[in-house]
């Protein structure tokens, strides 16, 4: 099976409709398609051949979207790099992905060295060249690759195909509905599946995207008040900040606004109740990079009677717990459907994604007697901090690279602002100031992964297999 080129088809079907807005500027689908074709020709002239794998390091701005859409036209696989990562983390992902080129905006060009680095200004300054894109895309074409942390401490490059993105968009549409006037307020970073999936929905639905460079609670509250947007993706901490702005400024939410998708961990019921006072429907979701965004969604009408649930699977998907777990019994959450990645790249290319047709998430949960999913423990030790996923093993691996550290254990601890933050417990081989360890970590890890609390201890709790008992560490916090 194949799909018509989403950019060309959307420009043909609804070319005059608003596709993208940023500040005071707007572009229609026809305009954005022409820009993408022009950029694709320039990239081809710069020596990047079709079917290449390129990495993109960029802020959320219109030119980033133009470059991504150009890559769609050109047939490139896009490795989406997180701008918040350290140079060492970016180096690993570039090497593991074997990207042939790095496309980078000017603001981030000094963050990392790479032989085949092409700045966005280099693309603009290259002579134009006629470009004829493919009219159809195979369903198994890899569109994007995003790195997600793993229990080994090494991030895994997750492939997302045309079929993955299309099924995710269609399943979401069947759940929340779509209309020609829909506009999605996008404050999620485009290198995350939460942000990139908004762009994919835009092309598939013909939906406008109001893009912002970063999350700003005051700006978001103003847009909800003015009625310029109909949907928004949030995590608990961003939802609370928007609600705080609405409450303190006495703003109302336009009747044109339809719903928010809440991800990145549970949304407290108190937030949902506060949102209801403004007529905002908050739909709790559960998903991951390997499932190309949401897999289950809790409808607003079920939020109070199913407190803590992530809802039921979207139409095209299936969820089960273990293999034969009865209602209420906890086990590993397993997923089946066309949104599940076909596999990884690089170091984990040989890892099997499915077992007996099911993707084993590593998350623990249960289904109640009505089939609603409850996530008990996200990948057992995962720390969810302001919507960002942090794996303790990744931090421990870096800590153990310091000569003064003999043993290290990391867990999450409660935080009023971010939900959770990392805390580290360290057995020293020699004396070292905590500030030195923090400085060492900052050179290799993104800022949000740096432990907010470091404790020196005599020993770490371990099981019979000598594995650190991170749940016991939580009790130490």
Per-residue pLDDT of the chain (477 residues; tens, 9 = 90+): 899 999 999 999 999 999 999 999 999 999 999 999 999 999 999 999 999 999 999 999 999 999 999 999 999 999 999 998 999 999 999 999 999 999 999 999 999 999 999 999 999 999 999 899 999 999 999 999 999 865 556 899 999 999 999 999 999 999 999 998 999 999 999 999 999 999 999 999 999 999 999 999 999 999 999 999 999 999 888 998 999 999 999 999 999 999 999 987 778 778 888 999 999 999 999 999 999 999 999 987 787 788 879 999 999 999 999 877 789 888 889 999 999 999 999 999 999 999 989 999 988 889 999 999 998 766 668 888 998 888 888 898 899 889 999 889 999 999 988 999 999 999 998 999 999 999 999 999 999 999 999 999 999 998 644 578 888 898 898
> Does residue 189 sit within a domain?
no
Residue 290's pLDDT is what? Answer: 96
The number of domains in the chain is 3
Residue 380's pLDDT is what? Answer: 67
Task: Single out the residue of 195, 201, 209, 162 nearest to residue 178, CA to CA.
Answer: 201
Domain assignment of residue 36, given as a range: 2-175
Q: Which helix (H) or strand (E) holds 405?
A: strand 405-415
- CB burial string 440-450: b at 16+ within 10 A, e below: bbeebbbebbb
Please indicate, yes or no, whether residues 353 and 303 belong to a single structural domain of this protein. yes
Residue 235's pLDDT is what? Answer: 87
| pTM score over 0.95 | no
Could you tell me which residues are beta bridge partners of residue 344?
A: 158
Please indicate, yes or no, whether residues 28 and 112 belong to a single structural domain of this protein. yes
> Does residue 191 sit within a domain?
no
With beta carbons less than 8 A apart as the criterion, state whether 387 and 264 touch. Answer: yes
Residue 230's pLDDT is what? Answer: 98
Choose one of 148, 175, 202: the last residue of a domain. 175
Residue 196's pLDDT is what? Answer: 97
Please indicate, yes or no, whether residues 33 and 157 belong to a single structural domain of this protein. yes
> Does residue 205 sit within a domain?
no
């Amino acid at each position: 099976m194949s799909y018509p080129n989403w950019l060309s088809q959307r420009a043909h079907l609804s070319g005059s409709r608003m596709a993208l807005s940023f500040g005071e500027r707007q572009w229609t689908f026809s305009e954005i398609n022409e820009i993408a074709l022009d950029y694709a020709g320039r990239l081809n002239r710069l020596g990047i051949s079709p079917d290449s794998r390129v990495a993109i390091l960029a802020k959320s701005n219109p030119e980033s979207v133009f470059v991504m859409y150009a890559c769609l036209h050109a047939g490139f696989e896009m490795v989406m790099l997180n701008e918040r990562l350290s140079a060492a983390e970016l180096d690993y992902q570039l090497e593991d992905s074997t990207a042939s080129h790095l496309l980078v905006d000017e603001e981030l060009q000094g963050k990392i060295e790479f032989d085949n680095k092409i700045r966005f200004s280099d693309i603009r300054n290259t002579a134009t060249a006629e470009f004829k894109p493919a009219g159809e895309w195979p369903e198994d074409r890899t569109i994007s690759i995003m790195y997600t942390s793993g229990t080994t401490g090494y991030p895994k490059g997750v492939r997302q195909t045309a079929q993955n993105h299309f099924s995710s968009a269609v399943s979401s549409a069947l759940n929340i509905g779509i209309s020609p006037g829909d506009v999605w307020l996008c404050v999620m970073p485009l290198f995350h599946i939460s942000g990139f999936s908004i762009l994919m929905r835009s092309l598939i639905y013909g939906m406008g995207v109001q893009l912002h460079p970063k999350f700003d609670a005051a700006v978001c509250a103003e847009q909800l008040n003015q009625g310029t947007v109909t949907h928004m993706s949030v995590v608990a901490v961003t939802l609370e900040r928007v609600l705080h702005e609405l409450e303190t400024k006495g703003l109302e939410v336009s009747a044109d606004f339809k719903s928010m998708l809440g991800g990145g961990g549970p949304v407290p019921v108190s937030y949902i109740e506060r949102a209801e006072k403004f007529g905002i429907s908050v739909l709790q979701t559960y998903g991951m990079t390997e499932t190309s965004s949401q897999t289950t969604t809790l409808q607003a009408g079920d939020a109070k009677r199913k407190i803590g649930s992530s809802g039921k699977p979207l139409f095209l998907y299936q969820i089960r717990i273990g293999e034969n777990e009865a209602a209420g019994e906890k086990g590993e959450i397993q997923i089946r459907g066309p949104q599940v990645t076909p596999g990884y790249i690089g170091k984990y290319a040989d890892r099997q994604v499915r077992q007996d047709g099911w993707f084993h998430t590593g998350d623990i949960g249960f289904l109640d007697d009505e089939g609603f999913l409850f996530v008990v423990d996200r990948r057992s030790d995962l720390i969810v901090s302001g919507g960002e996923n942090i794996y303790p093993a990744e931090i421990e691996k870096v800590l153990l690279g310091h000569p003064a550290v003999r043993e290290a254990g990391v867990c999450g601890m409660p935080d009023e602002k971010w939900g959770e933050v990392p805390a580290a417990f360290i057995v020293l081989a020699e004396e070292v100031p905590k500030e030195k360890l923090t400085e060492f970590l900052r050179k290799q890890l993104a800022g949000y992964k740096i432990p907010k609390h470091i404790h020196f201890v005599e020993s770490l709790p371990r099981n019979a297999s000598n594995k650190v008992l991170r749940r016991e560490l939580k009790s130490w916090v």
